[in-house]
């Protein structure tokens, strides 16, 4: 495709994210590489929003490598908690947070709460080291928080996130089903369409 960079850095070391964006960009003939292959460490996520953190991570990778970069930032926003844990999703239970502790804290916070509506949110950002306008795409996946974990797949809050139209948790979906519905899948597919528009 005319003008499209042949190589894009993904501002993550997560192999699942690398595979996901690589599949989406495959039709464009673009090579997707992890920032870790260039010895680039994770950026400090100092933003107050998913959009700010996504931009910080993308700019960090692009500046360090001299290549265009894609980053995403995502998390869970629970209605009854005023949008928490939000950007603090990964460290919701404190400095020693892990998936199990985060899920346990969420269940405690929602004990006795009837309104269990929630949404996974993701912002994906594409930046170029030559200061072109960033491309920004968002995905939102609405659901509800279960009373107890279900399923062995996924990660993070997936075992507690009920997908209403399927009546199963996100952790009970196959990887293909999850990518087709998820906040990250939505955001990345939109970003790919924006890349096509920019470079054609």
Model confidence pLDDT, tens digit, residues 30-86: 899 999 999 999 999 999 999 999 999 999 999 999 999 999 999 999 999 999 999
pLDDT of 12 = 87
Q: What is the CA radius of gyration of the chain?
A: 17
**Catalytic (active site) residue 131:** no
Q: Calculate mean pLDDT across residues 121-132.
A: 91
pLDDT confidence band for 196 (50 / 70 / 90)? confident
- Cβ(39)–Cβ(61) under 8 Å? no
The percent of residues above 70 in pLDDT, for the chain, comes to 99
The yes-or-no verdict on residue 11 having pLDDT over 60 is yes
The CATH number of residue 123's host domain is 3.90.950.10
Residue 18 lies in a domain: yes
pLDDT of 68 = 95
Whose tokens are 């995502």? That residue is 74
pLDDT confidence band for 154 (50 / 70 / 90)? confident
For strand 168-169 and strand 135-145, is the pairing parallel, antiparallel, or unpaired? Answer: unpaired
Peptide bond into 85 cis (omega under 30): yes
The yes-or-no verdict on residue 1 having pLDDT over 60 is no
Quote the tokens at residue 2.
């005319």
Q: Report how far residue 128's alpha carbon sits from residue 135's, in angstroms, rounded to the nearest whole number.
A: 10
Three-state secondary-structure class, residue 97: coil
Please state, in angstroms and as integers, the Cα–Cα distance from residue 196 to each residue in 24, 26, 37, 51, 154, following that order: 12, 12, 26, 21, 29
- Cβ(44)–Cβ(72) under 8 Å? no
State the pTM of this model: 0.91
Mean pLDDT value across the chain? 92
The yes-or-no verdict on residue 94 having pLDDT over 70 is yes
The yes-or-no verdict on residue 2 having pLDDT over 70 is no
Q: Number of folded domains in the chain?
A: 1
Q: Which of 12-16, 69-73, 91-95 has the lowest mean pLDDT?
A: 12-16
Residues of the domain holding 122: 7-199
Residue 102 lies in a domain: yes
Whose tokens are 């949008």? That residue is 83
Residue 27 vs residue 95, higher pLDDT: 95
Q: Calculate mean pLDDT across residues 94-113.
A: 96
Please identify which of the residues 44, 73, 99, 158 carries the catalytic annotation. 73
Q: Report how far residue 171's alpha carbon sits from residue 174's, in angstroms, rounded to the nearest whole number.
A: 8
Residue 1 lies in a domain: no
Q: Calculate mean pLDDT across residues 99-125.
A: 97
């Amino acid at each position: 495709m005319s003008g499209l960079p042949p190589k894009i850095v993904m501002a993550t070391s997560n192999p699942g994210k690398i595979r996901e964006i690589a599949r989406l960009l495959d039709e464009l003939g673009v090579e997707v590489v992890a920032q870790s292959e260039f010895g680039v460490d994770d950026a400090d996520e100092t933003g107050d929003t998913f959009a700010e953190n996504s931009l910080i991570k993308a700019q960090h990778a692009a500046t360090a490598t001299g290549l265009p970069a894609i980053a995403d930032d995502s998390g869970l926003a629970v209605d009854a908690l005023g949008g928490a844990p939000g950007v603090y999703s990964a460290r919701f239970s404190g400095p020693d947070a892990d998936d199990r502790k985060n899920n346990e804290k969420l269940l405690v916070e929602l004990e006795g709460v009837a309104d269990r509506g929630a949404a996974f949110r993701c912002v994906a950002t594409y930046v170029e080291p030559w200061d072109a306008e960033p491309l920004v795409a968002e995905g939102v996946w609405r659901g509800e928080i279960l009373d107890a974990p279900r399923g062995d797949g996924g990660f993070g809050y997936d075992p507690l996130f009920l997908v209403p139209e399927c009546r199963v948790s996100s952790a009970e979906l196959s990887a293909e089903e999850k990518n087709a519905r998820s906040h990250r899948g939505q955001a990345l597919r939109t970003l790919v369409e924006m890349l096509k528009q920019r470079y054609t």
